[in-house]
């Protein structure tokens, strides 16, 4: 089965899990980088690479709080990211419906 019509940015196991996890957060909640890493199970280096790709596309936003050693980075799905996931899920349903 081809994956034509599926957003290539989301259609990768690790990024699909990142986007789906952030989409499960209620409202405009954000998740700390360390909690997201614990939930997804990627190394910090790999997670940063995936997050940067999603951030460049405007699918996720990051926010730094605190200073120095107590600083924390939170990650949240943007409206554009949520819409992209909805379109991706609809495209998946369409593809699977054709089988």
Partner 1 sequence: MNERFDTFRPPPPEPDPWQTVVATDPGDDEALDPRDAAALLEQTTRQAERRFELQPPYLLFTAAVTTLVAYGAVWLSVRNQNPYTGPSGTALAVLYGVLALWIAFVATFMRRTLGGRSSRRQQQLRGIVFGTIWVSVYVLEGALYHVDHDHAIAYGVYVAVAPLIIVGAAAAGYQAGRGNRTQALLAALVVAYGAFAAFAGPSAVWGVVGVGLCTILLASAAATLWQRRAHA
* Site residues, partner 1 (CB under 8 A): 1, 3, 6, 8, 11-14, 16-17, 20-21, 23-39, 42-46, 48-50, 52, 62, 64-65, 69-74, 89, 92-93, 95-96
Nearer to partner 1, 37 or 81 (CB): 37
CB of 81 to partner 1, least distance (A): 14
Nearer to partner 1, 63 or 80 (CB): 63
Asked if residues 59 and 80 have their Cβ atoms less than 8 Å apart, the reply is: yes
Output phi, psi for 73, to 5 deg: -110, 125
Strand partners, 36: none
Q: How far is CA 29 from CA 6, 21, 22, 77, in A?
A: 27, 12, 9, 9
Nearer to partner 1, 34 or 79 (CB): 34
- Residue in the block written with tokens 């939170």: 74
CB of 57 to partner 1, least distance (A): 14
CB of 56 to partner 1, least distance (A): 12
Asked if residues 30 and 71 have their Cβ atoms less than 8 Å apart, the reply is: no
């Amino acid at each position: 089965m081809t994956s034509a019509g599926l957003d290539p940015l989301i259609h990768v196991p690790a990024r699909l899990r990142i986007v789906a996890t952030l989409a499960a957060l209620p409202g405009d909640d954000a998740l700390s980088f360390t909690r997201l890493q614990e939930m997804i199970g990627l190394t910090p280096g790999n997670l940063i690479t995936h997050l940067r790709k999603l951030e460049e596309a405007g699918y996720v936003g990051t926010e730094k709080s605190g200073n120095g050693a107590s600083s924390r980075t939170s990650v949240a799905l943007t409206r554009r990211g949520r819409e992209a996931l909805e379109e991706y899920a609809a495209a998946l349903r369409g593809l699977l419906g054709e089988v």
